[in-house]
Amino acid sequence: MTSPGQVNHYGSLRVPCTFDVSILRWLRSTEVGTSYGLLLDWPSICGAGQGHSVAVDPVRAGNVALRYPPPWRMLFGMKILLTVSAVVEGGTGLVLVAFPTPLAVLLLGSSLDTPAALTVARLAGVALLALGSVCWRSRLDGRGSAAKGAVVGMVIYNAGVFTVLVHADISLGLSGIGLWPVVLVHAVMAAWCVMTLSRSDATAGS
């Protein structure tokens, strides 16, 4: 039998029903509640309202069961989104700083022929490294303001890259073999960020 506050073999965490609703909301915003995308089920007899499903522990009546959701729902946790963003953008930044011309040819089908172009490209690489670092550190913030701010920044970044690259192909005739795959990746990342923010706001408001 699982004692209060311990995790059993089925991934459920049982806590006493005497928890205040504000404590439940705090727990949901912590690293425990976000790293694994935990669903917080609160019995209606504890006064949590209609926003939470009733899931009274059948073994220990009056307890709350915190249960793991289906695996696909964990994709909408901020930690995994920010981790992926940090790795992708940090890696891209390193490549752009070290090898700006090959990356430009891959994306745009055109080389960077002037020192000014190379300098600007490397500055962009440094900016990507900084963005990746922010995402990496913010992933530890659960659903806090730092994590949400990083995700909002990633929405702007991914949407901006998508727009600039599409414009480069359609209006400027610049297109390399990697342009449209990168456009697709940024479109998916932007949508992922928006859905994660929407889910976080909906959960916080419930």
pLDDT in tens, 78-129: 889 999 999 999 999 999 999 999 999 999 999 998 999 999 999 999 999 9
Residue 14 pLDDT greater than 50, yes or no: no
Q: pLDDT digit string (tens) for 133-152?
A: 999 999 988 778 899 999 99
Angle, CA 97 vertex, CA 190 and CA 146 arms, to 5°: 40
Q: How far apart are CA 14 and CA 5, in angstroms?
A: 6
* 202 confidence band (pLDDT: 50, 70, 90): low
Residue-level pLDDT at 4: 45
Residue 188, token pair as written in the block: 């998916």
64 vs 173 pLDDT, higher one: 173
Residue 162 pLDDT greater than 70, yes or no: yes
Residue 41 belongs to what H/E stretch? Answer: strand 39-41
Q: How far apart are CA 121 and CA 8, in angstroms?
A: 51
Query: Strand, coil or helix: what is 56?
Result: strand
DSSP symbols for 147-170 = HHHHHHHHHHHHHHHHHHHHHHHH
Give me the chain's average pLDDT, please.
Answer: 75
117 vs 5 pLDDT, higher one: 117
61 vs 83 pLDDT, higher one: 83
E strand map for 62-176: 63-67
What are the residue boundaries of the structural domains of the chain, listed by start? 13-69, 75-205
Residue-level pLDDT at 76: 62
